[in-house]
């Protein structure tokens, strides 16, 4: 039998966790990559192909993680003003710093640091909402990570636009520029129901429908928001958004800490997807989202980190571990949010949340070769009884050994080979010195 050519062959992988519909697992399996996609997968495949071969014994393969909610450039504000009440944190630290420094350069440098961290901890796709998303796009094009990008649209002036109309117009221009890009995926991002009028929300949703892009919004994040929306519109946030007409399968709602039982049913009925950000919600004392109830009702729940100013990291493994344990403790039920469900929130369910499940989120023939390998050849990950539970409860983002996006190796032997670490450290110090000055 003649051998078939391949671009990259990953062989002798201890466990391949495909995260497909059947949660198929291959032990001592191989993954064959060609033209940026998974060409073949399973046991004893390497003998059928020739091409660059990487032996992966001691490794566990997974789909690349998908971070469905973050503000990437806020790495430059990591830890700034921590341990203050939310109002103090925002009004005395974050907003003054953003008002003075947010620019193309700020966003570009902050996003570089974020992308380095995300790659290093196994994230291959992220959903971003911030300002100067053209700077985020430029980082993505240079590095080759996937990003679903939206500029935050609000009813008052922002670093991105003086009016919501300008924000929407700039978003349309961004969509037109990147509508066919392989790595930069445009979206529209009205900030929240308490910062966007019904008119702004409707106009943004019309754009999402016209251009078939994700409608990314913060919803029911805090008790303050619930109180504010209820007093202003006579409805709780989800009901308000439903009445406005902006809930659909395109809607990705970040946080969703305070939906009522009735609202959870509305989310399921409308096909709304949720990005769960447990560590941010804990640090800001926002509360704990009713994730088990949402999953039970049929709502697709994915995993997000939020920005590093309120988390303070972009490590999805840490996030899924927190989520799995947090809900067990709250519910006093060890069966709630299993390790498999926690990983699904960062892989296949996350791909569904961003409407890319035909391309990413599981290791299957024909999907993009977005693959991570976790190094299990370490004492803290042995002996292995169940690779799912080991990843969720025992591993860290630092255990990610190899990252492949679209068939291209971005991290090898735990080293980011597509970015300059020293340069990023210098940029971080430069911005730190500038930001500290405004409070001195």
Q: Which of 353, 378, 396 is the last residue of a domain?
A: 353
Q: What tokens does 388 get?
A: 């799912």
Let me know whether 165 and 262 are in one domain.
yes
In a domain, 386, yes or no: yes
93 touches 113 (CB < 8 A): no
Question: Given this model, what pLDDT does residue 302 score?
Answer: 98
Residues 110 and 194 in one domain: yes
Both 76 and 47 in one domain: the answer is no
pLDDT digit string (tens) for 166-218? 999 999 999 999 999 999 999 999 999 999 999 999 999 999 999 999 999 99
Residue 176 lies in a domain: yes
Q: Do residues 190 and 58 both lie within one domain?
A: no
pLDDT tens digits, one per residue of 21-71: 999 999 999 999 999 999 999 999 999 999 999 999 999 999 999 999 999
In a shared domain, residues 121 and 227: yes
Instruction: Judge contact between 188 and 213, C-beta under 8 A.
Output: yes
pLDDT on residue 88: 86
Question: Residue 299 falls within a domain, yes or no?
Answer: yes
List Cα–Cα distances, 7 to 14, 230, 425, in angstroms: 21, 56, 34
Proportion of the chain above pLDDT 70, given as a percent: 100
- CA angle at 297 for the pair 294 and 302, rounded to the nearest 5°: 40
Taking only the tens place, the pLDDT of each residue in 389-439 is 999 999 999 999 999 999 999 999 999 999 999 999 999 999 999 999 887
- Confidence bin at 440 (pLDDT 50/70/90): low
pLDDT, tens only, 313-366: 999 999 999 999 999 999 999 999 999 999 999 999 999 999 999 999 999 999
Q: Residue 423's pLDDT is what?
A: 97
Residues 209, 276: one domain?
yes
| 235 & 336 share domain | yes
Tokens at residue 285, please?
């004392």
Output the CA torsion 303→125→196→232 (10° steps).
-10
Are residues 261 and 331 located together in one domain of the fold? yes
Residues 339 and 376 in one domain: no
Q: Is residue 419 part of a domain?
A: no
First to last CA, the chain: 73
Residue 390 belongs to domain spanning: 4-63+369-414
How many independent structural domains does the chain possess?
A: 2
Q: Give 153's strand partners.
A: 190
CATH code where residue 30 lies: 2.30.40.10
Task: Please tell me the predicted confidence (pLDDT) of residue 247.
Answer: 98
CATH number of the domain bearing residue 284: 3.20.20.140
Same domain, 284 and 239: yes
Residues 59 and 73 in one domain: no
What are residue 342's DSSP bridge partners? Answer: none
Query: Is residue 241 one of the residues assigned to a domain?
Result: yes
In a domain, residue 437? The reply is: no
**Among candidate residues 333, 262, 336, 334, the one with its CA nearest the CA of residue 301:** 336
36 by DSSP, 3-state: which? coil
pTM for the whole thing? 0.98
State the Cα–Cα distance between residues 64 and 266, nearest whole angstrom.
Answer: 30
pLDDT above 90: residue 90? no
Same domain, 261 and 310: yes
Alpha-helical segments (H) within 245-354: 261-270, 278-283, 291-297, 316-331, 339-346, 348-353
362 domain residue, yes or no: no
Residue 278: pLDDT band with limits 50, 70, 90: very high
Q: Flag whether 114 is in a domain.
A: yes
């Amino acid at each position: 039998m003649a051998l078939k050519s391949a671009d990259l062959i990953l062989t002798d992988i201890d466990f391949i966790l495909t995260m497909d519909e059947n949660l198929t697992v291959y032990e001592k399996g191989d993954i064959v990559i060609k033209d940026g996609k998974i060409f073949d997968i399973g046991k004893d495949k390497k003998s059928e192909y020739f091409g660059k071969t990487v032996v992966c014994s001691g490794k566990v393969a997974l789909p690349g993680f998908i971070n469905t909610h973050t503000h990437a450039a806020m790495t430059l504000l990591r830890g700034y003003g921590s341990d203050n009440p939310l109002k103090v944190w925002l009004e005395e630290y974050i907003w003054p710093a953003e008002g003075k420094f947010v620019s193309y350069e700020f966003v570009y440098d902050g996003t570089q640091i974020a992308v380095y961290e995300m790659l290093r901890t196994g994230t291959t796709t992220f959903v971003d909402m911030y300002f100067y998303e053209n700077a985020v796009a430029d980082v993505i094009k240079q590095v080759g990570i996937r990003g679903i990008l939206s500029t935050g649209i609000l009813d008052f002036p922002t670093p991105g636009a003086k009016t919501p109309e300008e924000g929407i117009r700039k978003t349309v221009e961004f969509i037109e520029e990147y509508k066919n890009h392989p790595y930069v995926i445009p979206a529209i991002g009205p900030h929240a129901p308490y910062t966007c009028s019904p008119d702004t929300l409707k106009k943004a949703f019309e754009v999402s429908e016209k251009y078939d892009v994700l409608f990314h919004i913060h919803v029911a994040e805090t008790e303050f928001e619930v109180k504010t929306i209820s007093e202003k519109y006579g409805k709780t946030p989800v009901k308000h958004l439903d009445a406005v007409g902006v809930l659909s399968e395109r809607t990705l709602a970040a946080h969703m800490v305070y939906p009522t039982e009735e609202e959870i049913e509305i989310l399921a009925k409308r096909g709304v997807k949720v990005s769960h950000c447990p560590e941010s919600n804990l640090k800001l004392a926002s509360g704990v989202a009713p994730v088990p109830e949402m999953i039970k009702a049929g709502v697709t729940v994915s995993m997000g980190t939020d920005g590093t100013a309120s988390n303070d990291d972009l490590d999805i493994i840490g996030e899924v571990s927190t989520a799995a344990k947090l809900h067990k403790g709250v519910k006093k039920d060890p069966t709630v949010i299993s390790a498999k469900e926690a990983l699904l929130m960062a892989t296949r369910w996350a791909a569904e949340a961003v409407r890319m499940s035909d391309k990413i989120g599981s290791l299957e023939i024909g999907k993009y070769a977005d693959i991570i390998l976790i190094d299990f050849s370490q004492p803290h990950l042995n002996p292995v009884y169940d690779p799912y539970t080991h990843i969720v409860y025992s591993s860290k983002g630092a255990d990610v050994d190899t990252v492949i996006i679209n068939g291209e190796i971005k991290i090898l032997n735990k080293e980011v080979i597509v970015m300059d670490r020293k340069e990023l450290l210098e940029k971080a110090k430069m911005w730190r010195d500038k930001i500290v000055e405004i409070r001195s």
